[in-house]
Amino acid sequence: MLPVPEPKKVVETSGKFLNEFREFISRGNVIDLAVGVIMGAAFGKIVTALVQDVIMPPIGLLMKGINFQDLYVPLNGKHYSTLAAAKQDGAPILAYGSFINTVIEFVIISACIFALVKTINSLRRTDAAAAAPTKSEELLTEIRDLLKK
């Protein structure tokens, strides 16, 4: 006859797993990462709206009314009046206008992240500089150490 495992061990193992999972989730780094991902997704939507609705229309106007979203090349050799018509026909297309918009979005997001990191680093530098002892404090420390000798 085969031995039957005790039910307590199964419960203890699942309880241990849940406790470890709770500790993992409650760490500050995991929560910070989750907040960062959520904020990044929301920020991406804002930048997409900025590029599509604010930046690209004036650029299109300067380029004689070109809408970058409508720039494409059908790869099957046929001519279509619009990008939507080409997609509806199921034609293979190279939508380079969408790519241009995405590159502009990337540049804006990268610039914003660079500015944010630069600001945070400058704040950290001022904190580190404030924590460092002044020249007077260093001299007083040296004098104290010499007097002790």
Distances (CA, A) of 24 to 17, 18, 27, 57, 149: 10, 10, 6, 47, 51
The pLDDT tens digits of the residues spanning 75-111 come to 988 888 888 888 898 889 998 988 888 888 888 888 8
Phi, psi of 74 (to 5 degrees): -75, 130
The pLDDT tens digits of the residues spanning 9-43 come to 545 567 788 888 888 777 767 778 888 889 888 88
Give the pLDDT confidence score for residue 92 in this predicted structure: 92
Residue 81 domain-assigned (yes or no): yes
Residue 137 domain-assigned (yes or no): yes
Give the pLDDT confidence score for residue 83 in this predicted structure: 86
Task: Give the up-direction half-sphere exposure of residue 135: CA atoms within 13 A in the CB hemisphere.
Answer: 0
Number of domains in the chain: 1
- Whole-angstrom distance, CA of residue 108 vs CA of residue 98: 15
Q: What is the CATH number of the domain that holds 49?
A: 1.10.1200.120
CB 103 within 8 A of CB 109: no
- Residue 53 tokens read as 């609705």
Question: Per-residue pLDDT for 8 more than 60?
Answer: no
Q: Which domain holds residue 102?
A: 8-148
Confidence of residue 137 (pLDDT cuts 50, 70, 90): confident
- Whole-angstrom distance, CA of residue 119 vs CA of residue 113: 10
Residue 1 domain-assigned (yes or no): no
User: If you count DSSP H runs as helices and E runs as strands, how many of each does the chain have, helices first?
Assistant: 6, 2
Residue 43 domain-assigned (yes or no): yes
CB 60 within 8 A of CB 51: no
CB 101 within 8 A of CB 112: no
- Whole-angstrom distance, CA of residue 37 vs CA of residue 143: 52
Verdict on whether the full-model pTM lies above 0.75: no
Residue 101 domain-assigned (yes or no): yes
Cβ-based neighbour number of residue 44 at 10 Å: 13
The pLDDT tens digits of the residues spanning 40-64 come to 888 888 888 888 888 888 888 888 8
Distances (CA, A) of 40 to 47, 53, 68, 104, 141: 10, 20, 25, 17, 47
Confidence of residue 67 (pLDDT cuts 50, 70, 90): confident
